[in-house]
Chain A
Amino acid sequence: MIKTTGKSTETVFDHLAISGITRRLQELNVRTDVLTWHRFFGALLLVLLVLLVLSGAFMAFYYSPAPGSAYDSVDYALFTVPFGDIIKGVHHYGWNFFLMVLGVHLVRAFLVGAYQAPRQLVWVSGVMILLLVPIFIITGDLLPWDQKGYWSTQVRLSIIGSIPFIGDFIVRLLQGGPLTGIVALTRFYVLHILFLPCLLVFLIVIHMQFLRHRGISKPFLSGGNFSTKTVPFLPIIVNRWLILFLGVTLVLGLISWYWPAPLGDPADPTDSTYVPKPEWWVLFLNQLVTIFRGPLSVIGSVIIPGGLAGLLIALPFIDSSSERHPARRKKVILVAAIIAIGVLVLSIMGYLEHFRASHA
């Protein structure tokens, strides 16, 4: 763990020319009420993000972004390189957990009213991060060039293409042509490892900056009478992050060891019998597309998802009351509960249609 006292430690920091930074972090004090574990989802997200970056960098060393060699390069990294399957597994399970924890983090912030003034932009930047993650997943899915990735991409592009006015343009931009081939794969690769990570880092930096500027939300149950004891960010919070990093790495590593990340059959663009099944996080969206067909498809593919995203972003400005306790925000909580139940019901319907029906 990091120790910030002692002559030897100070000498090391000085030699590394980071003594200024370490001093500022030591002087940054954090309230002790944030040390509770349910307030650590943000830290958990950072840890998962670091693991995703590290595991992704490992795979990028071996990856070849061309349809003729992409699959073989992933297969090589997975099954020939020592621990390749575990590192790939960390990446595969890492993004799934990242999305789950992001959802929990958002729900927690919503329930405790942490989006309210003066923290509106902390919430908005957090929602922007949430909306960016699916684009990571969509671009990443195609890279192994397996059946699931290829055909899932075809389905997604056809849904994007149904967006009025701009849909076709976005699809041509992503594909670089009429078909999903080498140009599309290259563009997805560049988006996944370069453009989107830069955008994500930017959003995280401004999210943290807004958080630092406005401070962490106070526990609303205290009625103002909460402990104002503080601890220094460095080393207390940093050490907790390091412990969290080690713990999460161990857990993901064990999970990856026992349940290797899946790699489907190599993509066969001529195999029209393949029907991709939606991932868990898009079951409800997929079900919307199933329900609203034909001329109404724009409702399921654009209006409802767009409306939900817009509601999330606009929430701090819609609910401008000063009350944070859920019992005193009944209308907002009720609307959120209805939407959550709707999403759950659509997801269950999607699961039954795509998974249980095929096993019957």
Chain B
Amino acid sequence: MSKLKKIGFILFFVLAFGVFFIFNSHEVTGAGKQSVTVTKVENAPAGLDDPAWEKAKAVDVHFEGKERFAGKKASVATKAVYTDQEIYFLFSWKDANRSVTKGAWTYDGLKWSHQKGNEDRISLLFEINRIKNYATKGCAVVCHVPEGAPNAKDGRFGTSSAAEKGDLWHWKAARSDPAGFADDTWVTVISEKKGGRKGDAGKGGDTKNMTDDKSMPKYMLAPGKKLAKNDILLASHSVEIKDYSVFKAGDTITYRMPKMPEGSRADIKADSRYADGSWTVMLYRQLDTGHEDDVAFNPRKKYSFTMALFDDSGDEDSYDSEVLSLQFGR
């Protein structure tokens, strides 16, 4: 065969395969699911402003307000990077007020009462085991279930069966961030007694600082210790109050004291900053913790997840995202 024909054949095949790969490179999606790409980096970001973050493309995740926030919208700039061992998320969103009160005690000179105010939070939910229709319906299936649904008891936060499990990453400005963590919990079927949310194995969460009659705080800052970020009293830095006469009008004490997490509950580390009317939060964790109550990330796989934003609010009032797709770059 002539050289020209050989070259022609080779070019034809290269062109055909090229067209094929271009064709296959288009994501086949349904109704425009937002995708967050986790960029591979050599060196893990050391903080919120690490240059490693410049390699990741920010995605503006859109949120719709529910209940008290109905009709309102929010957006969170989301980035993600990973190394051979860990995955890092960076979230940035506007918030006019830094809310870390969470019902802190205040003393008016005569009695103690709770301050009005809740806390700012952001949460992510991944599937540990497949949750039916989560990839298409998201929080409508798991978080805010309608009346009459199989997991409608308690109104929210539960899967339809024990076989369906979710990994809930819950960053709380008052109750977890001061300890340097996000609360690592998981979601399963709603039981008779409790909702479907459970803390990961190990210790963590927070403890209520109150006397048995719930009228005043029981603990104060221990001598030689300092308050943590956002002037929050950590449970490990507290000591029982022996003499209430030391307090004067205007004094405040943390009500919900973060506990230093241990075991599986301590998987997700956090760093944050509130400045110029915005929160910036970094969450990071091992790709695969080896714990059954955590999602194990495989960089060759993609994951559906949802996010929720709480602006000085309780669980009922939130901004919820649609279902998102997490994909790992090479």
A228 within 8 A of B: no
29 contacts between A and B (CB under 8 A): A36-B1, A38-B5, A75-B301, A79-B300, A147-B30, A147-B135, A147-B136, A258-B330, A262-B24, A262-B28, A265-B136, A265-B304, A266-B132, A268-B133, A268-B136, A268-B137, A270-B133, A271-B137, A273-B30, A274-B30, A274-B31, A275-B30, A275-B31, A277-B28, A280-B19, A280-B20, A280-B23, A351-B23, A359-B26
B43 within 8 A of A: no
Identify the closest chain B residue to A279 (Cβ): B23
Q: Are B301 and A266 in contact (CB under 8 A)?
A: no
Interface string of A66-80 (1 = CB under 8 A from B): 000001100100110
User: Which residues on the A side are within 8 Å of B130 (C-beta)?
Assistant: 71-72, 75, 266
Question: Provided the pairs A268-B133, A280-B20 are in contact, do residues A85 and B300 lie with their beta carbons within 8 angstroms?
Answer: yes
Q: When chains A and B are docked, how far (Å) is the Cα of A38 from the Cα of B2? A: 12
Interface string of B16-33 (1 = CB under 8 A from A): 100111011010101100
User: Which residues on the B side are within 8 Å of A226 (C-beta)?
Assistant: none
B residues near A (Cβ < 8 Å) are 1, 5, 9, 16, 19-21, 23-24, 26, 28, 30-31, 130, 132-133, 135-137, 298, 300-301, 304, 330
Q: When chains A and B are docked, how far (Å) is the Cα of A277 from the Cα of B25? A: 13
Identify the closest chain A residue to B5 (Cβ): A38
Identify the closest chain A residue to B298 (Cβ): A79
Closest-CB distance, B326 to chain A (whole angstroms): 12
Q: When chains A and B are docked, how far (Å) is the Cα of A266 from the Cα of B5? A: 46
Q: Are A273 and B300 in contact (CB under 8 A)?
A: no
User: Which residues on the B side are within 8 Å of A258 (C-beta)?
Assistant: 330
A207 within 8 A of B: no
Closest-CB distance, B25 to chain A (whole angstroms): 8
Q: When chains A and B are docked, how far (Å) is the Cα of A280 from the Cα of B15? A: 14
Identify the closest chain B residue to A354 (Cβ): B26
User: Which residues on the B side are within 8 Å of A276 (C-beta)?
Assistant: 28
Q: When chains A and B are docked, how far (Å) is the Cα of A343 from the Cα of B9? A: 21
Q: When chains A and B are docked, how far (Å) is the Cα of A264 from the Cα of B302? A: 9
A259 within 8 A of B: yes
User: Which residues on the B side are within 8 Å of A38 (C-beta)?
Assistant: 1, 5, 9
Identify the closest chain A residue to B325 (Cβ): A265
Q: Are A260 and B300 in contact (CB under 8 A)?
A: yes
Q: When chains A and B are docked, how far (Å) is the Cα of A78 from the Cα of B304? A: 17
Q: When chains A and B are docked, how far (Å) is the Cα of A259 from the Cα of B300? A: 10
User: Which residues on the A side are within 8 Å of B24 (C-beta)?
Assistant: 96, 259, 262
Identify the closest chain B residue to A264 (Cβ): B28
Closest-CB distance, A21 to chain B (whole angstroms): 33
Closest-CB distance, B83 to chain A (whole angstroms): 20
Question: Provided the pairs A96-B20, A273-B31, A274-B31 are in contact, do residues A268 and B135 lie with their beta carbons within 8 angstroms?
Answer: yes
Q: Are A271 and B300 in contact (CB under 8 A)?
A: no
Which are the 4 A-B pairs with shortest beta-carbon distances?
Answer: A274-B30, A265-B135, A273-B31, A268-B136
Q: When chains A and B are docked, how far (Å) is the Cα of A22 from the Cα of B298? A: 48
User: Which residues on the A side are within 8 Å of B1 (C-beta)?
Assistant: 36, 38
A148 within 8 A of B: yes
Closest-CB distance, B171 to chain A (whole angstroms): 26
Q: Are A100 and B20 in contact (CB under 8 A)?
A: yes
A169 within 8 A of B: no
Identify the closest chain B residue to A221 (Cβ): B1
A292 within 8 A of B: no
Closest-CB distance, B11 to chain A (whole angstroms): 13
Closest-CB distance, A340 to chain B (whole angstroms): 13
Closest-CB distance, A183 to chain B (whole angstroms): 20
Closest-CB distance, B137 to chain A (whole angstroms): 7
User: Which residues on the A side are within 8 Å of B21 (C-beta)?
Assistant: 259
**CB within 8 A of B26: which of A71, A75, A355?**
A355
User: Which residues on the B side are within 8 Å of A72 (C-beta)?
Assistant: 130
User: Which residues on the A side are within 8 Å of B132 (C-beta)?
Assistant: 266
Closest-CB distance, A334 to chain B (whole angstroms): 21
Closest-CB distance, B139 to chain A (whole angstroms): 15
Interface string of A124-148 (1 = CB under 8 A from B): 0000000000000000000000011
Which A residues between 94 and 153 are near B, CB-CB below 8 angstroms? Answer: 96, 100, 147-148
User: Which residues on the A side are within 8 Å of B20 (C-beta)?
Assistant: 96, 100, 280
User: Which residues on the B side are within 8 Å of A280 (C-beta)?
Assistant: 19-20, 23
Closest-CB distance, A107 to chain B (whole angstroms): 10
Q: When chains A and B are docked, how far (Å) is the Cα of A280 from the Cα of B298? A: 29
User: Which residues on the A side are within 8 Å of B31 (C-beta)?
Assistant: 273-275
User: Which residues on the A side are within 8 Å of B304 (C-beta)?
Assistant: 265
User: Which residues on the A side are within 8 Å of B30 (C-beta)?
Assistant: 147, 265, 271, 273-275
Q: Are A271 and B136 in contact (CB under 8 A)?
A: yes
Identify the closest chain B residue to A257 (Cβ): B300
User: Which residues on the B side are within 8 Å of A260 (C-beta)?
Assistant: 300
Interface string of A266-305 (1 = CB under 8 A from B): 1010110111110010000000000000000000000000
